[in-house]
Chains A and B, each alone.
Chain A
Amino acid sequence: MTRFAALTRRSALAAIAATIAARNAFATPDQTRDWLAQQAKGTPKEGKVTLKAPEIAENGNAVPVTVSVESEMSATSYVKAIYVAADGNPNPGVITYEFTPLAGKAEVQFRTRLAQTQKLVAVAEMNDGALYMASREVKVTIGGCGG
């Protein structure tokens, strides 16, 4: 009986600790930069990438985002990858894409969760290693992390 009580208390404490951890666990712009740097080495230049997202998202649970990269998709010159990160979520990563020239066009659409008002960053990696980026702030009225 006592053991059972202790266990519940322990798990309750663990839950509280986890809550505190979760509260403090939002990614920072630095972590977001680190995450992006892990995906693609180098310093991205502004340009070529277009990041479309609503300026104000009433519901952070599903925010539509479009990322497109101005580039041909031929065997010798194509967009190798797109990395998308957000700097105010518990984890910076959002989605990564790897393309082959068969994709024909480097344009993707997805829906993201945003916990709070924050900046979205998209980095595109060309097959020659060049990096381009775009970013955009999205204001979030109701956060979408269920926390």
Chain B
Amino acid sequence: MSDDIKPRLRVPTSAKKGDVVEIKTLITHPMENGQRKDTDGKIVPRLIVNALKVTYNDKPVLDAKLEPAIAANPYLSFFVRVEETGTLKLTWTDDQNQSWSAESKIEVA
């Protein structure tokens, strides 16, 4: 299952200094909310991506804490202000402490 979990990231490749750019991201994950029952009537245990950490050049930008009320394949968008060329890094963590990351470079002219 964890093999098909893939983070996707859409980030502009270039920006002007001081620009506030929009970041869109999606991670393919079932977000098992711990409420659903399988065909035997047993509750499928909760397994969700519960955290997303965003840094730019290792400086924190945003921390999100996801609850089971977030839809499967969580799609999130947010903003970041870029002052210098750098790397945007996103790290997701799930209930089993597995983590996935993705990064993208933003060139500041």
Chain A residues within 8 Å of B, Cβ to Cβ: 11-12, 15, 18-19, 22, 61-63, 73, 86, 89-91, 93-105, 107-114, 144-147
Contact = CB atoms under 8 A, between A and B. Distances in A.
B12 interface: no
Interface string B78-100: 11110000000000000000000
B71 A22 contact: no
Given A15-B41, A108-B78, A102 B70 contact: no
B36 interface: yes
Interface residues of B, number: 32
B67 A102 contact: no
B61 A103 contact: yes
B76 A108 contact: yes
B69 A104 contact: no
The B interface, classified by DSSP as helix, strand, loop or mixed, is strand
A147 B36 contact: yes
28 contacts: A12-B41, A18-B43, A19-B37, A90-B68, A93-B69, A94-B67, A94-B69, A95-B64, A95-B66, A95-B70, A96-B64, A97-B63, A97-B64, A98-B64, A99-B61, A103-B61, A104-B20, A104-B79, A108-B78, A110-B71, A110-B74, A110-B75, A111-B70, A111-B75, A112-B69, A113-B68, A146-B37, A147-B37
